Structure 1
Amino acid sequence: MIGCFVTGTDTGVGKTLASCALLHALAKHHPRVVGMKAVAAGAEPDGQGGWANEDTLALRAASTLAVPAALDNPVLLPDPVSPHIAARRAGVQVTLPPILDAYRQLAAQADAVVVEGAGGWRVPLSETLGIADLAMALQLPVVLVVGLKLGCLNHALLTAEAIRASGLPLAGWMASRVDPQMLVPEENMDWLRRQMDAWGAPLLADIPWQATPDPHSVAVTLPRGWQ
């Protein structure tokens, strides 16, 4: 079973689009692929009398394996704010055991599981727990989504260093061109590619800016061993 954890340099850098693109790429080689939004902050009507997060809905659409909501989104918080604040407002304590149990059940059914984080690597889930703690508990290789915009070099290097310091493998990175007005994006890309290559983290995808995100249009090179 192939599993990975997708994190980003910030909120709104295209983690969901990247995760969905990874699912589509994996589905070309594996019949049963599923996305997981372990912790989601922000809920909307799902059209079936319940509630769901828009990222979770996108992951479900990109998955080939349908599972209960309790498995692909074990923690759903109503308010679209930082998860630790959303949890406090909802009177919920985010803990690892239910999330890890949901992941184990997904892994038992699937050929590949793509777990999408919330926000960036250091986003808090509670006063004592964060996204990095969740990734380390899952013990999955990490894919870093870098939002190409002013400041991305610092954000990318700090995040990559933190991932490597955690002991988890950095399986690769995906460039997400979130700012169509960014100056000299190719120079930034070249610098990032050299830095990441030196750490053994290949570029998996260069995602163009899209007014309407379409994961089917994203060309993804899967890491070795994921095919």
Structure 2
Amino acid sequence: MFFVTGTDTDSGKTLISSALLSSAKGKTCGFKPIASGCEATPEGLRNSDALALMAQANMVLDYQQVNPISFAPAIAPHIAAMQIGQTLSAQQVTSHLISQPLLQADFALIEGAGGWLLPLGEQQYLSHSVIALNRHVQQTQQLDVGVGVIIVVGMKLGCLNHALLTQLAIENDGLHIAGWVANQVDGNMSEIEANLASLQQMMHAPFLGYVPHLSCPSAENAASYLDIAALN
């Protein structure tokens, strides 16, 4: 079971999550517990990230199972929640995920929103949900590691600092980093090779691959650059 976080908004979490799901074997499922920037449809709010995960997973789930918390404005979820008088909590997210068939899958993936410390309000963060889920899985399944975290590094100026801060925060929270991906979001980034070399020296987890700036990004295209077997 893996939780995918990014060094920032628009680091490419959905592209990498979809690519990992497309490469995984056996029964696969993907979840996007919180999503902003959703489109109104006759069936209710729908988020493109959640739909992308559903398209690559082979376990059939209802949309509300994949994305239970959705907001129309493309703004921070806790602010969107306040605007409509809704309260977000880490326990709310954890309880939903625990109720889903995560443990029935051979490869289960949860995509976060924003970065590791996505605020939920009242001094709570989405990371608290991951910590609680990890503890639950460890206790119920008697595992050393319940949830492995995958970091998507959005390759652009400043990414070294963002990557190292994200790594530090996750490690300080006691979570296991299962791997990291370098995803080039800035097609004109200077010294990409030197930055990659620096990250490979400073990151503590397995390097899953470098996805260059793609003119036609797709799960299948991105998957060709990733080594899912390197996940530990």
TM-score surpassing 0.5? yes
Alignment partner of 1:221 is 2:215: no
Percent of paired sites with the same residue? 39
1:136-155 correspondence to structure 2 within 5 Å: 136-139=131-134, 140-155=147-162
**What secondary structure is seen at the aligned counterpart in 2 of 1:125?**
strand
Which letter does structure 2 place at the counterpart of 1:205?
Answer: G
What is the alpha-carbon root mean square deviation over aligned residues?
Answer: 1.7
- Check the 8 A contact 1:78/1:90 in 2, yes or no: no
Unaligned residue ranges in structure 1 (runs of 5+): none
- Check the 8 A contact 1:136/1:168 in 2, yes or no: yes
What count of residue pairs does the alignment treat as equivalent? 217
Q: Any idea what the Cα deviations from partners look like across 1:126-172, whole Å, max 9, x if unmatched? A: 23211211221221110000011100000100110111111000101
Partner of residue 121 from structure 1, selected from 108, 113, 116: 116
Partner of residue 200 from structure 2, selected from 182, 193, 197: 193
Which letter does structure 1 place at the counterpart of 2:221?
Answer: S
Which letter does structure 1 place at the counterpart of 2:170?
Answer: I
Q: Any idea what the Cα deviations from partners look like across 1:191-211, whole Å, max 9, x if unmatched? A: 101112xx2x01112112123
Which letter does structure 2 place at the counterpart of 1:21?
Answer: A
Distance 2:148 2:154 in 1: 20
Distance 2:40 2:53 in 1: 16
Superposition TM-score, scaled by structure 2 size: 0.88
Alignment partner of 1:56 is 2:56: no
Q: Residue 12 of structure 1 corresponds to which residue in structure 2? A: 10
Distance 1:23 1:194 in 2: 27
- Check the 8 A contact 1:193/1:203 in 2, yes or no: yes
Deviation at 1:43, TM superposition (A): 1.1
Which letter does structure 2 place at the counterpart of 1:6?
Answer: V
Distance 1:130 1:101 in 2: 15
Q: Residue 25 of structure 1 corresponds to which residue in structure 2? A: 23
Q: Any idea what the Cα deviations from partners look like across 1:76-113, whole Å, max 9, x if unmatched? A: 12211011101111221112344333323221442221
Distance 1:77 1:128 in 2: 20
Distance 2:153 2:207 in 1: 10
- Runs of at least 4 residues off by over 3 Å: 223-226
**What secondary structure is seen at the aligned counterpart in 1 of 2:119?**
coil
- Check the 8 A contact 2:118/2:125 in 1, yes or no: yes
- Check the 8 A contact 1:84/1:127 in 2, yes or no: no
Alignment partner of 1:166 is 2:164: no
Distance 1:225 1:41 in 2: 29
Q: Residue 144 of structure 2 corresponds to which residue in structure 1? A: none
Which letter does structure 1 place at the counterpart of 2:217?
Answer: P
- Check the 8 A contact 1:70/1:102 in 2, yes or no: no
Unaligned residue ranges in structure 2 (runs of 5+): 135-146
Q: Residue 157 of structure 1 corresponds to which residue in structure 2? A: 164
Distance 2:49 2:94 in 1: 19
Alignment partner of 1:75 is 2:81: no
Superposition TM-score, scaled by structure 1 size: 0.89
Distance 2:130 2:19 in 1: 20
**What secondary structure is seen at the aligned counterpart in 2 of 1:211?**
coil
Distance 1:188 1:224 in 2: 21
Which letter does structure 2 place at the counterpart of 1:99?
Answer: V
- Check the 8 A contact 1:9/1:146 in 2, yes or no: yes
Distance 2:43 2:75 in 1: 23
